[in-house]
Amino acid sequence: MKNYFKSDGKDALRATLSQPTLIGFDFDGTLAPIVNTPDVAVTPTPIARRLTALARLCPVAIISGRSIKDVRGRLGFMPKFVVGNHGAEGLPGHYDSIEDKCMDALRERIFSHAAEMAVLGICIEDKGLSFSLHYRGSRTELPALRFIEALLAPFRNDLAIFGGKYVVNVATAGAPDKFAALQALLEESGMAGAVFIGDDVTDETVFAGAPSTWLTIRVGGKVPDSRAMYFVDSQSQVVNLIQDMLDLLTAYGHRG
């Protein structure tokens, strides 16, 4: 894992963008700064302005853990693709009609414990194809996490459960993850390669699966066990990264 701005990051970006490329972004913590209330997260104007320009030069995809309906209004620009629920929602021709009895049973169990979760500072986000249980607002992190673990224990073998920053996510088992989503979009768009930028555990599916012809960048400093090729120190540097993409693509004169 190399520092994008302090090594050969821009050269690697140049090489990747010399072929027809799809550019994918996670949303929270990547395009939008992490905020205490997930409800107020939006793309800052300097990033949104550059993404508007970028989307004219190549296909851009947003692959978020949020539902499509939720994330779309926060973007501030119109990407070619928006995929929600960690990859499970919105892929062309697939998966939107996944029905899972397990998710229904889980929904019932979660909402029957809503009052206790509120006391522990756990916030429930029902996204249809997945749940996010946020404990960022909790003053008692460990009890909150233990409560969530006990709540999900009966479903451990039947649903996909994965962590994130102050969140436990639960999704339909077998649903496409972010890597599967990006692969499908690559095929759909007919592009040869991909650049993907993300900041969290679910983005690691892309980092781990990416062939050497892709470029992957993790936001938030060096993480020893990350599989991303490069990192940038903070979300505030993403604007410079997108500017690099614009400069290179303008020079190449690509059209998406």
Using rule CB under 5 A, residue 200 touches Mg ion: yes
Tokens 């960048």 belong to: 217
Touching Mg ion, residues 19-38 (CB under 5 A): 26, 28-29
Q: Find the DSSP H helices in the chain.
A: 9-17, 45-57, 68-72, 101-112, 114-120, 141-152, 178-189, 204-209, 238-252
Return the range that interacts with Mg ion (CB under 5 A); candidates 18-26, 177-185, 210-218, 225-233: 18-26
The C-alpha atoms of residue 30 and residue 46 are separated, in whole angstroms, by 14
Q: Are strands 60-63 and 21-25 parallel, antiparallel or unpaired?
A: parallel
| Site size toward Mg ion, by CB under 5 A | 5
Count the neighbouring beta carbons within 10 Å of the beta carbon of residue 104.
10
* Of 29 and 84, CB closest to Mg ion: 29
Using rule CB under 5 A, residue 70 touches Mg ion: no
Q: How far is the CB of 195 from Mg ion (least distance, A)?
A: 16
Site string for Mg ion, 180-199 (x = CB under 5 A): -------------------x
* Of 26 and 204, CB closest to Mg ion: 26
The C-alpha atoms of residue 196 and residue 244 are separated, in whole angstroms, by 14
Residue nearest Mg ion (C-beta atom) = 29
Residues that bind Mg ion (CB under 5 A): 26, 28-29, 199-200
